[in-house]
A = this chain, B = another copy of it.
């Protein structure tokens, strides 16, 4: 992936054709940006994936229904309030927002995908939102996705926006984390737009693959959100592209954004990458890797720069259903250093690992000695700040 300059002017010139945004503060919680609309000038081919939560947010079923035909024209997103566990009133509210935005922008409400993120269990401040939508069309600017990335933030410490060229087309992706993050079959909020021309069916296939190897491999805290949504619009204004190239760009950008989410996990001081190979299946490799990256004892050890690799052994061992796991066949590495291979490696100088743990990106590799499958997942350490942020987030 060719990653382009990050200066605002660069971004602006390089934005995909025919995408307009509006970003503003509606005062939902405070004075930071909390509302954005991302619109294509024409109806675009689209794909989306959503949280599997049984307690999902009010916008989720509406988004699902609207993207079902592979067409969308607009994302409308608010932060600071998730509109979850809000009963019938919550559903009426999101429907009203979609209708008001459609009316203002003169587009079909069925082509809008709505999202909300923030605190659970509070009704949206509808008066403020209604006022914010008035004259929306006049407030649209061309491009501006990097500012949309700001408006969707909750506890993120920086906006996440990536841009790259694929042939004549451009692909932009934005995402937000940073707690309640263990996406399953979908993700936190992330939106992609491109002016490449890609058939809806193809888009759905390659998008699902990209999400499964990126966002679905991230865990900050094992807490699957009620509001996870990832969506893409391809409006075709830049014409056809090489699908293989586009797929590769989409995969790389998804992984990049997923890693950013892990790196910026609540309270995180380190990005942790866990690769499990020599596995008998991808599912087994993913399960073991997630068990390691999610273990609070592994996470705190990494935060404390403690070469306590025994906790990695524990986290492998607790995958109890994987009956073919055998400690005799297993190898464990911190970075490039082999520390266990059927038994502890006596010659390892633990101070070398201690030093390695000073890095801001930590790699753990485990070989199961069972087969040829592998999986890589991303997470972060568990710090005092995770407790601080979440001991006082709301109410």
Contacts and interface: CB of A to CB of B under 8 A. Distances in A.
Q: How large is the interface on A (under 10, 10 to 19, 20 to 34, 35 or more residues)?
A: 35 or more
A192 to B, nearest CB: 24
A9 to B, nearest CB: 39
Interface string A20-59: 0000000000000000000000000000000111111000
B307 A223 contact: no
Contact of A391 (B300, B310, B328, B343): B300
Given A54-B322, A344-B86, A120 B314 contact: yes
Q: Interface on chain A toward B: helix, strand, loop, or mixed SS?
A: loop
A358 B314 CA distance: 34
A393 to B, nearest CB: 6
A85 B327 contact: yes
A325 B55 contact: yes
Given A297-B390, A300-B391, A317-B56, A344 B224 contact: no
Contacts of A51: 317
Nearest to A89: B343
Interface stretch (A135-143, A199-207, A246-254, A378-386): A378-386
A392 B344 contact: no
A387 interface: yes
Contacts of A308: 119-120, 393-395
Given A55-B317, A317-B54, A320-B184, A222 B296 contact: yes
Interface in A309-329: 309-311, 313-320, 322-323, 325-328
A78 interface: no
A224 B320 contact: yes
A350 interface: yes
Contacts of A122: 310, 344
Nearest to A317: B55
A342 interface: yes
B306 A121 contact: no
B226 A306 contact: no
A59 to B, nearest CB: 14
Interface string A235-256: 0000000000000000000000
Given A85-B340, A314-B223, A342-B87, A297 B53 contact: no
A313 B344 contact: no
9 contacts: A54-B317, A55-B313, A55-B314, A85-B313, A123-B344, A308-B393, A308-B395, A384-B384, A384-B387
Given A120-B314, A303-B387, 18 more contacts: A53-B317, A53-B318, A54-B318, A84-B314, A85-B340, A87-B342, A121-B344, A180-B297, A180-B311, A182-B318, A221-B296, A222-B295, A223-B314, A226-B314, A296-B390, A300-B390, A304-B393, A387-B387
